[in-house]
Every structure is written in structure tokens, then in C-alpha cells.
Amino acid sequence: MTRLVIATSNRGKIAEIEDLVCGMGFAVIGLSDLPARVDIVEDADNFEGNARKKAIAVARAAGCPALSDDSGLCVDALDGRPGVHSARYGGPGLTDGDRNRRLLEELTGVNEDRRTAAFHCAIAFSQPDGDIRTFNGILRGRISFSPRGDSGFGYDPVFIPNGFDCTLAELGMDVKQRISHRAAALSQFAQWIRTPGT
């Protein structure tokens, strides 16, 4: 089985990706499982740029393939914010709940029809030699007026996917694994990895 490093220390994200790549012949580990710390500055101005940077750095440091994900929430009424800064939105030291509260505060007075948003995900898969592929997924929806549900992580409690009346945190992991931006990007990765010669 090939070792695959998921270029994150976020246990929720590792578990989600591990579940989605199940059966592909990978033994999944996270950044914290590596013997040496890998510091990466996520300073690209788009999701794909950050994903590529992380995957290449981690694959080289670990000496085995690495899969990185850069994802975030883009809210139309906020001109696409928090975007690539989703994990750092509001400053350092904030919890997911803090960031959700800040987002809802910024949207105070914004009507439901203007609360449209989309989760974006870029997945990058890199070999230690720098050979890299990227895959992208989007989940469109809207921002709720209050946090709801206790499943998932990040902005899941305030994001209602199109076609649903519940937030991702209310829908639960089974549904999220089928419809999410990350699932869409990883589905493309799975199709590529299972098709020899591509």
C-alpha cells in the first residue's frame, strides 16, 4: 500500500479525505505524523496556487506522494470574502464558531436572496519529484441566518447547499460526502488515479 500524506493537521479534513480515497490503495497519514515539521506559507491569491504549493512541499519533505486541499467559502455579498483567507478569517486564534459569528455579523441586514455563496476546493496531488495534478470542485448554496447543526467543521453550520433547507452541519457527513466541493474534486482525482496512462 502506498503511503499518502494529507497536507494538513486538520483532523476533520483528514478523516473526510481518508473516507473519500478509501479503496484506492493508499495508507493515509497527516502532517503531524511526519517526523519533521513542514512549514508552508499559504500566500497564493487562489485556492489552486495554495494547494499546489502545499502538495509539492510536503511530497518533497516526506519522500512520498502528498495530497493537499485548499478550500474556502466565497460569499457574493462580501465580494468573495473570506475566500482564500477562510481559515484565518477574523484573525488568529479564532474558533470555527467565532468565524461563523463574524460572518453572520457581516451579513446583518442582507436579505436571503442576496446571501448566495459557494464553497470552492482545489485538490493537488504531487509526487516527490514535483510531478503534480490539480482537481477542482464547487458547492453552491446560501448563508443561513444562524448556525444550525453539529456535524462537520468550519462553515458547515451556516452553509445551506442548493436544493436543501438544512445546513451542511444538519445534513450530516453521509450527505456531505456525496455533495461537497471536496467530494467533487476528489471524485475527479479518483477517476484520474484509476485510469492508467492519464
Q: For the domain 2-193, what is the CATH code?
A: 3.90.950.10
How many angstroms separate the CA atoms of 190 and 21, rounded? Answer: 7
Q: Give the CA dihedral 113, 114, 115, 121, nearest 10 degrees.
A: 110
Domain boundaries, the chain: 2-193
Label residue 85 by pLDDT band (50, 70, 90). Answer: very high
Tell me, what's the pLDDT at 55?
95
Instruction: Output the DSSP codes for 67-136.
Output: EEEEEEEEEGGGTT-BGGGGGGTTSTT--HHHHHHHHHHHTTT--GGG-EEEEEEEEEEE-TTS-EEEEE
The residue type of 47 is F
Q: How far from each other are the two terminal CA atoms of the chain, in whole angstroms?
A: 21
SS3 38: coil
Catalytic residue numbers?
70
Q: Which of 65, 62, 57, 54 is nearest to 26 (CA)?
A: 65
pLDDT tens, residue by residue, 122-142: 999 999 998 999 999 999 999
> Predicted confidence band at 147 (pLDDT cuts at 50, 70, 90)?
very high
Rounded alpha-carbon distances, angstroms, from residue 178 to 19, 27, 168, 170, 175: 11, 22, 11, 14, 5
Q: What is the pLDDT of residue 196?
A: 58
User: What pLDDT is attached to residue 1?
Assistant: 72
8 A C-beta contact, residue 155 and residue 85: no
Residue 15 in this model has a pLDDT that exceeds 90:
no
pLDDT at 58: 94
In the prediction, which pLDDT does 40 show?
A: 82
- Residue 113 and residue 62: Cα distance in Å, rounded? 46
Cell numbers at residue 190, please? 479518483
| Digit-coded pLDDT (tens) for 31-58 | 888 877 888 888 899 999 999 999 999 9
Identify the pLDDT of residue 194: 79
